Structures are given as C-alpha cells and as structure tokens.
Structure 1
Amino acid sequence: MAEEAEADEAHRADEGDRSGTGEAGGPRRALDVMRTASGEFTELSGLRPERVIRCERADGGTGWVLEAEVTELTRVPDTMSLIAVYELAADRDGHVTGFRRVSRRERGRADGR
C-alpha cells in the first residue's frame, strides 16, 4: 500500500513538472510560456501569431522575452501580404506585460534586420 501511495505521489509531482509549474511554483517551461503569451497577445491585439521566432529568459530570470510573426494585412498574391514581428514581454508565468512591433515587411521579401 505504501509503495502505491509513493508511486501516486511521484506521478502527481511529475505531472506538475509537465504542466510547467515546477516544484513549489518554480519557473515555467518555455513551451507553456509561449502558449500563454501567444493567447494573451491575440486577445490584446486581435492578431494571431503564426510562429514564435524567439523565446528567452529576460535578464535576471524574472520574465520572458518573445518575438512572434503575425500577418497584419492579407493581400493577393500572398507574397504581398504584410508580415510583422512583435516583441512580447511576459512575466515568469507567461502573462503578457507589454508588446511592440519591431519590424514589418512583405511576405515575399527577406527580413531586413
């Protein structure tokens, strides 16, 4: 019986780690942060990220910095659509604390950064 209880407790701890909360509310995984921040960015801006092109810890490990590509204006042909890169600032749990557009280009053109 004790072995089953220990196994169940270990499984719950493992599930907690996979959910991104880590031990004792520790830092979240990058994947969880990207999902949370992308969803909140969509709610705030009305734009849906097509891909996250940067995700890294902010200085001091107190938050995250992400960059996401979004289609700002769809045109025909698609190569003329306007693609923008937004920088997102997020807290340690992935909740967006701010964002700004850092570049914009036509889809068919190379990134000039």
Structure 2
Amino acid sequence: MPKAPRDDIDDRDPSQPATISAAEAAAVAVRHMVELTGREPIGATSVAPTDDGWLVETEVVEDRRIPTSADILALYEVELTLDGDLLAYRRTRRYPRGSSDPGRDPR
C-alpha cells in the first residue's frame, strides 16, 4: 500500500528510520483493515507505540443486522512498523453492539 506523502520527509536524517505520528498510524491501520477484511472500520480505538512501531486497535462491524443495535462488532489489533508498513493483524474480540464492556469477556 503506498504511503501518504509527508511534507517533512526531506528534512529528516537519512540514517534514521522514517516515523509516523500516532494519528497517522491510526489512519494507516484503518486503511489496512479495509484492504484486509473488505469491511469498513468504525475507527481506531487505541494507538500505542512499541519498540519498533505502533500497535493500533480498530473497531469493525463484522455482521450488519436489522435493527443495527443487533450488529456484531469486532476489535482488531494492527501492528505497524515505524513508517506505517503492516507487520500483522489479528481479531481479539467479537461482541454485540451496545455491550457494556467490549474489552472484557463476560464469562
């Protein structure tokens, strides 16, 4: 996937790796989710730096239902390099829309 052009790319030290901001990492992760799953993410729910990149959590509508309050949503973790290349992604949770705490297993 081509990366968006950066205005400051020519100002950086060529010996240092390119880095994207947290906001750019979230946007890139959402674009990757569209390409990988064919589903439109609702958005990024968290962004955290790692030693060698970014870990972004995105929320996706996995199964649209009528009424929409019955939709099934999912959380995906997307691992990116410092310059926004995809390393890995995985679904971490599925849950009905409107559940009180999607990050917690109700068992």
* TM-score, structure 1 as length reference: 0.74
* CA displacement 1:77-100 (0-9 Å, x = unmatched): 111100100011111112221111
Structure 1 residue 23: Cα displacement: 2.1
Q: Percent identity?
A: 28
Does residue 111 of the first structure (1) align with residue 101 of the second (2)?
A: yes
CA distance in 2, matches of 1:110, 1:87: 20
Correspondent of 2:45 among 43, 50, 53: 53
Task: Name the counterpart of 2:86.
Answer: 96
Correspondent of 1:23 among 12, 26, 32: 12
Larger radius of gyration: 1
Unaligned 5+ runs, structure 1 = 1-14
* TM-score, structure 2 as length reference: 0.77
Secondary structure of residue in 1 paired with 2:44:
strand
Question: Superposition RMSD on alpha carbons, in Å?
Answer: 1.9
CA distance in 2, matches of 1:64, 1:22: 22
- 1:57 touches 1:64 (CA, 8 Å); kept in 2? yes
Task: Name the counterpart of 1:85.
Answer: 75
CA distance in 2, matches of 1:22, 1:101: 37
Equivalent AA in structure 2 for residue 16 of structure 1 = D
Unaligned 5+ runs, structure 2 = 1-6
- 2:69 touches 2:98 (CA, 8 Å); kept in 1? yes
Aligned length: 94
Structure 1 residue 110: Cα displacement: 1.5
Task: Name the counterpart of 1:44.
Answer: 36
